[in-house]
Structure 1
Amino acid sequence: MSEGSPNPFSEAAREYRAERDRRETPKLGRHSPVIRPRASEASPKHAIQSSDGMENDPVSDPFAPLEAHDIDRVCFPIPSESKRSARPLTLIQASQIKFDTKPNQLVKNWLSHGSFSVLYGESGAGKTHVALDIALHVAANATWMSNKVDSREGCVVYISAEGGRGVQDRVLALRKAKREIGHGAHRLFILPSSVRISSESDGLLEAIGSACDVDPVLIVVDTLARCFDGDENSTMDMNRFVAAADALRERTGAHVMLVHHSGKDGSKGARGSSALRAAIDTEIHVTNSKKGIQASVTKQRDFASEGQVSFELQPVFIGKHLDDDEVWSAVISPAQDAEHRDMLAPQSSLALDALERALRESGEARRVGGGQTRRLCARLDAWYDVCRTLKITKSCSENSLRVACSRAKKSLRDQSLIDFDATYVWLTEQ
């Protein structure tokens, strides 16, 4: 070895000492090494005395200098069996992916099989009407609003978490008003109580298994708030809920739809943490205005869609109570005249709005037109009073009001939007 050249053995010695010194003063942390002594080394050297002077189980002192024979016993924390993934994970080779000719859309342009959606809107917007209508059409495997349905002969589970008779009355109204899809009721199952998705999903699956003889293709949770554990604004709580909903989808193969409320500003989306919108595949916004109920797709992950449909509420008589009081509910029907209404003269449009309001406030169920069908009717005078309130005419005179109402009444009848007799007026079937 030439003079002045570095001594490789000295270099190695320095590195060894540096490594030894580093190991002799270990840093405590999440991955700090734990020295596990051999069974034969259970000696006082490897025992630690607690503050009360009692010796704990023999373990190595993490602060003691490491010896050469200790190096092969340096262990890092290993996840416990309970924390390991229980489900098998399978990788797919990209070159093996092939085009699937089988459609994967549950409701074409709206919902996909096995995916995750939110249908939201303000209170009273008609969210439940829309969700129930979709649910019955899927259960019946019937086209919904001109969009093909592929239910794969599965059933539908509707969690009516707000309870009460309201949803059940609406189901009766659907069966009565839409007899062509009434057979779907055999595959539509209602749970008239809340269920905590994050903690009670096992009980839900047991209930589904005992009631349904086929797998569900759609599970509707109405509403998220009634089935939520924690704070909707908390990202942690929302992520926990989303994980539970994902597990429900994976275990059933069903599409999970959440019915949810909008925030203070409906234009900014559903209420609560934005983690929900990030997780879902489809978002549907339901609004209610003078033009009726409207459902619009505001997010679609898997396929392009600008789905938008308009509805009108159709009152349906469902029976009488023992005290002879009539019970009415309502269903949605396509607003095929929504665009037509935009073309109505302002007076006629106001008169139609006035009639719908009069029907809500003081409608009476009557047989009209000499037939057996009962329709929700308003007295002509009640209709005129609402027309006056809505200022169908600028003049304040009673004669001007009567003339304006008479013209609007004739115009609406000519367009088959209303009908009337000497005392009552009603909307025609669309």
Structure 2
Amino acid sequence: MSIAEENKVLDLKALHADRKRLFVLYADLETDCSKAWLVDRMLGAGELSAFYGPPGCGKGVIIEDMGLHIAAGLEWHGKPVTRGAVLYVALERRKLVERRAIAFRVKHGLQDLPFAIAGGVYDFRNPTTAAQILDICREVERQTGERVVLIIVDTVSRALAGGDENSPKDMGALVTVTARIQESTKAHVLLVHHIPHDAERMRGHGALLGAVDTTVAVVNAGSVRTAKVVKANDGEEGEGISFTVEGVEIAPDGTTAAVAVPADIPATSTEKKWAKGLRLVRDCIDAALTEAAIEHSVGGDGPIVRAVSLEAVRNIHKARYVSSGDGERSEAERKAWTRNFKAAQQAPLIGGEVKDGAEIIWLL
């Protein structure tokens, strides 16, 4: 056979191989087709997920914590993970993401992990964005020597770059670009999303909900927060974890950043954290939040929480307090408030700071 004929045969074999990659025949299906997990029983390898929840629920903290555990190859809340490089695309608050990673380093003593943070402006409706993200992934893999197994996009709103999240065209374009990134990297892509319309549905057009394999709702249930699977195309719904948020000092000037800590008790047991004498304070805060909550960024650039003025809470306490002894009611109420509010601060069950000359507080 001549060289030309051999080349022709090789070309035909290559063509057939390329065509075969377009599909798989029934007879070629593998006998061993066990599902591969990125996070055991929670997030599938190479799939698409969305974590969502209201501001201040701790979703950014727990998502980054999960990504760092994957980069380290450490079990996450007792769940085995597939180790690999992680790319966190921080389309908002990049510096906060960096500080949280530093806090994780301080907390766990891990100096070198294949975890990369990318900032900037990317329009995930534009097909060229897929190529840009793929270029970053390749460079991360080159520098770390690890395959990228998780890409976090924070947030969907910023990824739309001014697009309408209720538009099927805009959300459909985002889903398409995300799918291209998945297909090329074989990595799991995790989208961070904002407040849902209700407990079961994410905000925005249903194209995203239809495209994701898994949705995870993050909820702040008081001092303990939860991240629970709401939708799972190929897994167990209801699977989840509980965690608390802890501040870690990361600089000589006292700057702190949040880290996630596994909770020793389930979220349903958080009532025990509030001693009987403190529950009126908590109930008054809850009532004030219902009436006049504001979104507040802790420290100016920290996590967003639902806060309320201290004065509003105190006024509700004055109205609800029931004196159990003799003496003037107003004085008894003042002493009870001072004692119990201080105890709640020291627990700590509440946080607070001054904004525009007035003290505001929030539940931890």
Corresponding residue of 2:288: none
Q: Is the 8 A contact 1:348 1:412 kept in 2?
A: no
* Aligned-residue identity in percent: 29
User: Whole-Å Cα distance in 2 between the matches of residues 342 and 100 of structure 1?
Assistant: 44
Q: Is the 8 A contact 1:118 1:258 kept in 2?
A: yes
Corresponding residue of 2:358: none
Structure 2 residue runs of 5 or longer lacking an equivalent are 1-17, 286-295, 299-309, 324-328, 349-364
Alignment size in residue pairs = 297
Q: Does 1:170 align with 2:100?
A: yes
User: Whole-Å Cα distance in 1 between the matches of residues 316 and 241 of structure 2?
Assistant: 27
- What is the CA distance between 1:336 and its match in structure 2? 2.1
Give CA deviations for 1:347-377 in whole Å, capped at 9, x if unaligned: 245568999xxxxx9x9xxxxxxxxxxxxxx
User: Whole-Å Cα distance in 1 between the matches of residues 117 and 20 of structure 2?
Assistant: 31
Q: Does 1:301 align with 2:228?
A: no
Corresponding residue of 1:249: 182
Structure 1 residue runs of 5 or longer lacking an equivalent are 1-84, 356-360, 364-383, 419-430
Structure 1 SS opposite 2:81: coil
Give CA deviations for 1:64-111 in whole Å, capped at 9, x if unaligned: xxxxxxxxxxxxxxxxxxxxx99941222157441335x511111210
Give the greater-gyration-radius structure (CA).
Answer: 1
Structure-to-structure mapping, 1:312-323, within 5 angstroms = 312-320=244-252
User: Whole-Å Cα distance in 1 between the matches of residues 81 and 173 of structure 2?
Assistant: 31
Corresponding residue of 2:261: 333
User: Whole-Å Cα distance in 2 between the matches of residues 405 and 336 of structure 1?
Assistant: 30
Alignment partner for residue 107 of structure 1, among 39, 60, 81?
39
User: Whole-Å Cα distance in 1 between the matches of residues 241 and 338 of structure 2?
Assistant: 30
Corresponding residue of 2:116: 189
Distance 1:315 1:385, change over 3 A: farther
Q: Does 1:347 align with 2:347?
A: no
- What is the CA distance between 1:160 and its match in structure 2? 0.6
Q: Is the 8 A contact 1:159 1:194 kept in 2?
A: no
When the two chains are superposed, the root-mean-square deviation of aligned CA atoms in Å is 3.7
Q: TM-score, normalised by structure 1?
A: 0.60
User: Whole-Å Cα distance in 1 between the matches of residues 219 and 186 of structure 2?
Assistant: 30
- What is the CA distance between 1:387 and its match in structure 2? 9.4
Q: Is the 8 A contact 1:159 1:219 kept in 2?
A: yes
Alignment partner for residue 200 of structure 1, among 129, 132, 138?
129
Alignment partner for residue 258 of structure 1, among 182, 188, 191?
191
User: Whole-Å Cα distance in 1 between the matches of residues 107 and 280 of structure 2?
Assistant: 27
Structure 2 SS opposite 1:319: coil
- What is the CA distance between 1:311 and its match in structure 2? 2.2
- What is the CA distance between 1:214 and its match in structure 2? 2.1
- What is the CA distance between 1:141 and its match in structure 2? 1.1
User: Whole-Å Cα distance in 1 between the matches of residues 176 and 68 of structure 2?
Assistant: 27
Give CA deviations for 1:210-237 in whole Å, capped at 9, x if unaligned: 2322210000000112122532212122
- What is the CA distance between 1:342 and its match in structure 2? 2.1
- What is the CA distance between 1:129 and its match in structure 2? 0.9
Distance 1:98 1:311, change over 3 A: same
Corresponding residue of 1:234: 167
User: Whole-Å Cα distance in 1 between the matches of residues 230 and 340 of structure 2?
Assistant: 40
User: Whole-Å Cα distance in 2 between the matches of residues 308 and 207 of structure 1?
Assistant: 31
Alignment partner for residue 25 of structure 2, among 92, 98, 108?
92
Amino acid paired to 1:257: L
Q: Is the 8 A contact 1:120 1:262 kept in 2?
A: yes
Q: TM-score, normalised by structure 2?
A: 0.69
